Every structure is written in C-alpha cells, then in structure tokens.
Amino acid sequence: MEKKFKIAGEYIELLAFLKAVGIAETGGHAKFIVDEGSVTRNGEIEYRRRAKLIKGDTLEIEGVKFQLD
C-alpha cells in the first residue's frame, strides 16, 4: 500500500512525521520505532530520529510506503 504525504514547509522531522501519519501515538513510541530499525528511507534504514524528510523521499514503515510531496 502506498500513501502520499504533503509537506507544508521545506522538511518535516522523522519523529513528527511518524506522529502526523498515525504510525506513532506518542513521541516515545516514535523513538522506539526508529531505534528498532523499522523505518526505511529511500531504500536505507533510517536511525536518525530527527532526520529531515524532504519532498521526493520515500519511506516504508511496517509495510506501508509513503511518498512525500
């Protein structure tokens, strides 16, 4: 399944993104998801909690793909 996500500014930080799309319920839950290596960004596992996601990035989390616009 692939979903699109529109970024309001230049970027969105990974933890904020996880909360915005409903994958994580809290900041602590978002940190846990990133720390366990469950987030793939452009084909690479992303461990940086505050990674700046930009338009054109593709993320995969728990089998769901997101295309950032």
Output the pLDDT for position 61.
Answer: 95
Number of H helices, E strands in the chain: 2, 7
Q: Is the pLDDT of residue 1 over 80?
A: no
Check residue 2 and give its pLDDT: 87
- Segment 27-58, tens digit of pLDDT: 999 999 999 999 999 999 999 999 999 999 99
63 to each of 3, 49, 59, how far by Cα in Å?
Answer: 11, 19, 10
Q: What is the pTM of this model?
A: 0.92
CATH code of the domain in which 9 resides: 3.10.290.10
* Structural domain boundaries enclosing 20: 2-68
pLDDT at 62: 86
Total domains in the chain come to 1
Q: What percent of the chain has pLDDT over 70?
A: 100
